[in-house]
């Protein structure tokens, strides 16, 4: 009996420019994705839920409910990857998008092949942690199959990238991981020495895990990188 092919990944594209939305939808469809398009932000969460979407591509400059509000709502409801695709290229918007739970931030215009590569990298990372395994470090529990985290028995809501970062650090507990290694592991591209995305991720992860002030659980080792301290939990 032939083994059926796995279903194509489902993407919800949120873009108010009708022409651009159709160009992106067409290219992604030809690259093997199922794509549903939303032109406004109000119905995105329900559309994602109804479709069981695997990833969201989100513009920031939407009419009505803007992309930041949509990103916040999506992250509160789902752990799937969120890729912001926007013409806004200032650092404040970039950092805010990441703080609200986006997993990647791409500036328009973007080469279609580059966009597909970034999507595939996010989906690979998501699939890579689906093996049934639960790690426990004191009060911290990480379930890679359910992609869930609890601390002191209470669930911790993490973005897809925050979860992947935590899993990688936990998998190398007690070993210092350089910024370059973590960046390449998460984003599948070379670190240029200037991008502060990883620092934002670490800061957000610490905040959600109650490791602020003088962090002792995910420590900064100046000049070397970051260290997950297993006995500190």
The share of the chain scoring above pLDDT 70, in percent, equals 94
- Residue among 164, 143, 165, 140 nearest 154 (CA): 140
pLDDT of 129: 53
pLDDT of 4: 43
Indicate whether 98 and 201 sit together in one domain. no
Indicate whether 223 and 178 sit together in one domain. yes
Any residues with CB less than 8 A from the CB of 144 and at least 6 apart, and which?
129, 130, 131, 132, 133, 134, 135, 167
Query: Whole domain around residue 188: which residue ranges?
Result: 134-232
Indicate whether 202 and 181 sit together in one domain. yes
pLDDT of 1: 37
pLDDT of 64: 86
Q: Determine the average pLDDT of the residues in 71-82.
A: 87
Q: Determine the average pLDDT of the residues in 182-197.
A: 76
- How many domains are contained in the chain? 2
State the Cα–Cα distance between residues 226 and 169, nearest whole angstrom.
Answer: 8
Indicate whether 124 and 209 sit together in one domain. no
- Report the predicted TM-score, pTM, of the whole model to 2 decimal places: 0.62
Indicate whether 145 and 39 sit together in one domain. no
The structure tokens 């690259």 sit at 31
């Amino acid at each position: 009996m032939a083994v059926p092919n796995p279903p194509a990944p489902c993407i919800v594209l949120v873009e108010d420019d009708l022409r651009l939305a159709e160009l992106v939808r067409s290219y992604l469809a030809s690259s093997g994705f199922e794509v549903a398009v939303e032109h406004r932000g109000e119905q995105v969460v329900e559309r994602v839920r109804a479709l069981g979407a695997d990833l969201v591509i989100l513009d920031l400059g939407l009419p009505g409910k803007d992309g930041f509000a949509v990103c916040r709502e999506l992250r509160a409801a789902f752990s799937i990857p969120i890729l912001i695709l926007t013409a806004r290229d200032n650092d404040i918007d970039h950092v805010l998008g990441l703080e609200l739970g986006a997993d990647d931030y791409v500036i328009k215009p973007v080469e279609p092949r580059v966009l597909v590569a970034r999507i595939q990298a996010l989906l690979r990372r998501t699939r890579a942690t689906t093996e049934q395994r639960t790690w426990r470090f004191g009060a911290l529990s990480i379930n890679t199959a359910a992609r869930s985290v609890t601390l002191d028995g209470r669930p911790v809501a993490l973005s897809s990238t925050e979860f992947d970062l935590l899993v990688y650090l936990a998998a190398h507990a007690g070993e210092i991981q350089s910024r370059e290694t973590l960046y390449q592991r998460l984003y599948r591209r070379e670190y240029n020495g200037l991008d502060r995305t990883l620092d934002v991720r670490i800061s957000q992860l610490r905040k959600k895990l109650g490791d602020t002030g003088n962090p002792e659980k995910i420590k900064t080792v100046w000049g070397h990188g970051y260290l997950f301290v297993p006995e500190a939990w």
